[in-house]
Amino acid sequence: MMKTHYLSPEYWKWLQSHPEHARNHFTQTSQTALEKAKSGEMESARQTAGEAYEIAQAVLLSLQAPETSPASQRKDLTAYGAAAIQLARSHAATGNIEDAATCLDAASQQIYALAPLFALHPELLTMLQQITFSLQKGLAFYQRQTLSSRVLH
């Protein structure tokens, strides 16, 4: 079982077993995180963004039915990448630049690990590359910020 920081392990496991419910819950939770960030509730937004990230991760790592369409898989991959970016931005907004970098690095590694599962779908592999590129670009940005803050102190 995955180690979770924002969801209880039991709920995370349940989400994996019920990916349709998890997809709906992800959409609601992600939207709530955005609304909290817009209203200036940054700590609460970070917590909610973390929940959305772990929900997206639960869906991504759930056992997919063989008839799961590539379109559904694309949505799941996009949701995971977007959730990682949203969580990283929430960490950065609360001054946790290192946590932002760690989040993007972990998400990128997760996608690399899953890539072989999509070997029969070149369009999904291309999408994985694009998501990974975006995550790596954000990671580099936060690493530069972390490095510059260390040099200044």
For residues 101, 103, 107, 112, the Cα torsion angle rounded to the nearest 10 degrees is: 40
DSSP string, 92-108: HHTT-HHHHHHHHHHHH
- Mind listing the pLDDT tens digit for each residue in 76-107? 999 999 999 999 999 999 999 999 999 999 99
- pLDDT beyond 70 at 65: no
For 3, counting Cβ atoms within 10 Å of its Cβ (0-12 exposed, 13-18 middle, 19+ buried), the class is: exposed
| % residues pLDDT > 90 (the chain) | 80
Q: What pLDDT, on a 0 to 100 scale, did the predictor assign at position 116?
A: 92
Residue of higher predicted confidence among 65 and 33: 33
pLDDT (average), residues 110-124: 91
**Domains of the chain from N-terminus onward:** 9-152 (1.25.40)
Q: How many residues does the chain have?
A: 153
| Cβ neighbours of residue 100 closer than 8 Å, sequence gap 6 or more | 87, 88, 89, 91, 92, 138, 142
Residue of higher predicted confidence among 80 and 1: 80
Q: Which of 91, 79, 114 lies closest to 37, judged by CA?
A: 91
- Mind listing the pLDDT tens digit for each residue in 10-52? 999 999 999 999 999 999 999 999 999 999 999 999 999 999 9
- pLDDT beyond 90 at 152: no
- pLDDT beyond 80 at 63: no
With contact defined as beta carbons under 8 Å apart, do 147 and 95 qualify? no
